[in-house]
Structure 1
Amino acid sequence: MSDLLKVSSSPHVRAKDDTSRIMLYVILALMPTTVFGIFNFGYRALLLVLVCIFTCVISEWLFEKAIGKKSTIGDLSAAVTGLLLALNLPFTLPVWQAVLGSIFAIVVVKMLFGGLGQNFMNPALGGRAFLVISFAATMTHFEYDGVAGATPLALLKSGEAVNTLDMLIGRTGGTIGETSAICILIGAIILILLGVIDLIIPGVYIVSFAIFVCVFGGHGFDTSYLVAHLCGGGLMLGAFFMATDYVTSPITPAGKVIFGICLGVLTGIFRIFGNSAEGVSFAIIFSNLLVPLIEKVTVPRAFGVVRERKPKEVKADE
């Protein structure tokens, strides 16, 4: 019999990219903002990056060793979690707090729920949220050129003027990886060109947030105010590198659009009406929790399947 008639089980078409290759692409795309963050904030930034990556990798290895599970640190997902967590931290954060955040991200958010592919929220953002709640003072302490001060978003929220060019380039205070919008966009272009992400979620996220700011920000269509919001804080980093996480984002086309709108609206609510000047991390976490519901509503109906019609009731006198 001809080999053409033999049918194997699915999948019939396989992509050459596996998890480790995709994670390697993400690390590559994060290099511009990582290198700039180290250049911007010095050796302390490098120290936190190395500590977070090492702690995440060793935490995953030790957890799997303890439960007798095969090690998965070779897929590089733990290293990506450590790098993303470090980029979301101020360079002044005590090292021991960074270690705690890394352990929480891997053990609690990722491994206790089954490991890669089973976590219900982005592990790096889960670790950051844990640190913000536990150590608010150190997580909101920012310095630039040796001077402690408010971030551009905090200044913007208080009604003060900010330099949007400095925010675009990265000559401002903030977390290690959020200051330079240009470096983040370079990394985003790398991810798009390599086919790791598409523009639906980040595009809808940014557009819906911009509309929210224009409508409710109190400044109308003020381009300087809008650009400052887009370049400030973790919006760009979150939109391209964390909201697009395969595990915690929808896979249906309509679901991606709804997910992006939720992200934009929640970020706008937290920034405009909340007490904090930021809101990206919690907006992504809350939207992650909505993903099962979003996918349930937006899942396409299988071809040829129709809704079951209720039988017509027959009246007694008929």
Structure 2
Amino acid sequence: MSDPLAQVVGLLRPDLSFAKLVEGAGAWRIPRSEEGRPFFCAVLEGAIQLEVRGREPVLVSAGDFVLIPTAYDFTSSSTSPAPGHGLSSVPIEVSPNVFRLGDPAATPEVRMLVGYCAFGSTDAALLVSLLPSLIHAPGEGRLTALIQMAVEESRAERAARDVVLARLMEVLFIEALRSSGPHCPCGILRGLGDDRVAAAIRHIHEQPTAPWTVASLARAAAMSRSTFFDRFRQTVGMAPIEYLLHWRMVLAKQLLEHGRTSVAEVAQRVGYGSSSTFSVAFSRHVGTSPSLYARQRAA
């Protein structure tokens, strides 16, 4: 059987090497409005409060990892003492790639690795939409060990440090996705944490060209049609056939980007009987025709 999470991560091609070490003492508050830029934070010591627009505040403690795949308005701040809402701190670089927040003379109460995640995929938006808007992975042994290794590597001056750090951060990203699944309100991570729903997702990823229906996917999940439909939509955040269409479009865009596959062949390889049916579905989902999309990518 295929591994849906490995496929999503492989297509996204995440790069979390853009990280810096941040220390905080006293009251501090950092509001951010980096529209669309994926933000991550791994807390090494202490705790911070994270406020994301439209969500309840989240306490992020030592060993926790947070990823906001499409960061918009959010604020990170100290927990004790709590900062005033009017406070806006400016990080001060105290040594190469190490920054201080709050009281520069006090002993740091919080240490964290923060940065922005870059996705190598030109189709990141479709893939990111499969992930929850906030991924909060609580501190566990493997996750904490990876975070500590990344910090140690970032401080060292060993040969191939940047290569090792990039690989460590990629593994950290995958482990965070694994760990956060049960805590996500919905999305592919939550779906893969449900054995029945995961069986259907794996079938879709393994055979995207199959003529799947809700009934056939329900049989694959060993559930009744209505129960399966409700459970899939509740855990993944979209209906089963909508997810199938979504995944087919991700695969189609990948094939079109290479520029070596005709529209008719792409249609066949993602499960459509005719190029016209595929073109209508692609245009509705992506906002442009497959041929125009391919020309734009080639240009």
Instruction: Give the TM-score of the pair, scaled to structure 2.
Output: 0.28
- Give 1 or 2: higher strand fraction: 2
Instruction: Compare the two structures and name the one with the higher helix fraction.
Output: 1
Task: Give me the TM-score of the superposition, normalised by structure 1.
Answer: 0.27
